[in-house]
Amino acid sequence: MYVKRVQTMLSRAKKKMMRIERRDDSAPGDLVLTRGRVHTLGAGDGLAEAIAVRNGRITRVGSHDDIAPLIGRETRVIDLAGRSVLPGINDSHLHGVWLGTMWPNLLMDQLAAPAPGPEAHDTGHGHGHGGPASRLETSADRRAAILRTGELLSSLGVTSYTEPGLGPGEDDGPTGCFGSGALRDYADLAAEGLLNARVTALMLFGELDGASSLERFTRGLREFTPPADVPGWFRVAGVKIFADGIPPMRTAWTDEPYADGTYGALLVEGATPERREADLVAMIEAAHAAGHQIGVHATGSRTTRRVAEAFRDAGARDGRDARHYLIHGDLIHPPTLAEMAAAGVGLNTQVGIAVATEEMVAAALGPDALRHAWPVRDALAAGVPLCLSSDAPVLSPDWRKGVAAAVTRTGLDGRARGPEQRIALAQALRAYTVTPAWQDGAEAWKGTLEPGKAADLCVLDADLFDVEVAALPEVPVALTVVDGRIVHEL
C-alpha cells in the first residue's frame, strides 16, 4: 500500500515535471515571424517558414504549423508574406566611431553599387573628404558617434561588428576616433545596455595605417589594460597590426616588382628589410603568446605570405585555436592560400575595394598581378575561412552592396573586375554571418538561425530568391532584431 502510494506520488511528480518541461519548451514566443523564407544558414543551409523568439533566444525554427503552438496572447506575430529572414549581419571589419563621425561621407564610393534603394535616398554619398570635420575630444563625442553608427547599422540589418584597431597607439591621433578612450566608451555603452550591435574590438599599439615598432608594441601588450568584456555585447578579442600599405600607393610589400622596379616595404620600423620582417614576426609571436587574436592589415603578396607563415608557426607552437586573420589581402598567391587553410587562418576582405581599385593595382604592378588580386573564390576553394566586410567609412556599411560586389564582381560602369573570382550568393551570405561569428569565436551562439542561438535577425522586404543579386542593394531591410529586441522596422 505504502509502496504504491509512493509510486503514485513519484509518477505524479514526474508527470508534473514533464508538464513543466513541455510547457517551458513550448512557452509562447515574445516574437514569431511566419509565412516567410527563413534562411537559417545552419547545417545543410536549411530553409524554414517560421521562427520563434523568446528571452533574446531563438526557440524554434520550422513550418508555420511547428511554430503556431508558440503563439500566445502576448506574442507579437509578424506575417512575413514570403519575405526572407537572414541571421543578423556581422560586419567583421568596420570602424564604428569613425563611421559615426563621417557618415554620410565615405572615403571611397563603392563602384559596384546600383542606384540607391528607396530607404537610402538621404545618404548623399560624398567622394571622400579625408577625416571628420573636427577631432573627437570627449567621451560624449565618441559615445554620440557610436550611437549614430548603431542606428545606421540597425537600419541595414547589421547586428554585430568588429572595431579593428582602437588603443593607445592613437591616443594623440588626428581624428580622435581610434584612441583607447573609445574602448572604454564601448564598454560603458554595452554595460548600460545602449549598444544596438554586438561589438568585438582589436587593440592598436601603433598608428592607424602608420608605422609601428616592436618596442612600442610589446610595451603596449605589457602595460595596457583594456576594459573588461561585457558578455554578449562587447569584447576586446586581440590586437591589430598594420604590416604594410596598399598596392596603388606602391606601399604594399610585394613579390612582383612595381613599374619603377621597387617592391614596397613593411610599415614596421627598422633599418633594414630583414630587421622589419623579424620585428613583424616578433610582434605576431608576442601577441599570440599573450593569448590574443591577431588581425594583420596585409596587402602585398610578400606580406600576406610572411604573415600567414608567422601565424602558422605561432599556432604550431601551442596548438591554440587562435582565429588569426589577414585583413584586406589584396594580393595573395595560391601557396599562401593553401598555407592559410592548413593553419586555420582567416581572410577578411572587401570586394568593393577590388572593383573600385583594380585598375590602379594593374597600373602599379602590371596586369599579371591581377591574377592573384582579391582571390575570394580561390580562398574558399582552398578552404580559407572567408569574411567579407565594409571597412566603413572607407566603403558604405551597406552589406547588400558588398554581397552584390562579391557575386557580380562588377563596377558601376558595368565592367567586371576579376570575374573568375565571383562567388555564389550563399557563399557571400555566409561571409557576412556564419564565418564572422567564427572570427568572433562566437559560432556556438550566433551567426545562424537555430534554436538556442541569439535572436539576431535581418528581414529583407522581398524573397531573396526573387531578387537579382545586382539589385539586392535596392531591397529595403524591413526589420532588424538584436537579442530578440526590434531595433529597426520599416
Cα atoms found within 13 Å of the Cα of residue 68, Cβ hemisphere only:
5
According to DSSP, the residues that pair with 204 across neighbouring strands are 240
Q: Which is nearer to Zn ion, 246 or 337 (CB)?
A: 246
Q: Which is nearer to Zn ion, 69 or 174 (CB)?
A: 174
In 214-230, which positions are buried (b, 16+ CB within 10 angstroms) versus exposed (e)? Answer: bebbbebbeebebbeeb
| Least gap, CB of 447 to Zn ion (angstroms) | 21
CA distance 20 to 206: 56
CB-nearest residue to Zn ion: 391
| Least gap, CB of 101 to Zn ion (angstroms) | 15
Grid coordinates in use for 478? 524591413
Q: Which is nearer to Zn ion, 395 or 475 (CB)?
A: 395
DSSP state letter for 245: -
| Least gap, CB of 164 to Zn ion (angstroms) | 5
Contact 407, 166 (CB under 8 A): no
Contact 91, 399 (CB under 8 A): yes
| Least gap, CB of 242 to Zn ion (angstroms) | 10
Binding site for Zn ion (CB under 5 A): 391
Q: Which is nearer to Zn ion, 391 or 398 (CB)?
A: 391
Q: Which is nearer to Zn ion, 391 or 456 (CB)?
A: 391
Strand, coil or helix: what is 389? coil
Q: Which is nearer to Zn ion, 339 or 391 (CB)?
A: 391
According to DSSP, the residues that pair with 235 across neighbouring strands are 200
Longest dimension (CA), the chain: 100
179 sits in which H/E element: none
| Least gap, CB of 484 to Zn ion (angstroms) | 31
| Least gap, CB of 224 to Zn ion (angstroms) | 20
Q: Which is nearer to Zn ion, 244 or 339 (CB)?
A: 244
CA distance 171 to 143: 16
| Least gap, CB of 391 to Zn ion (angstroms) | 4
Which residues, in sequence order, are CB contacts of 289 under 8 Å at separation 6+?
314, 318
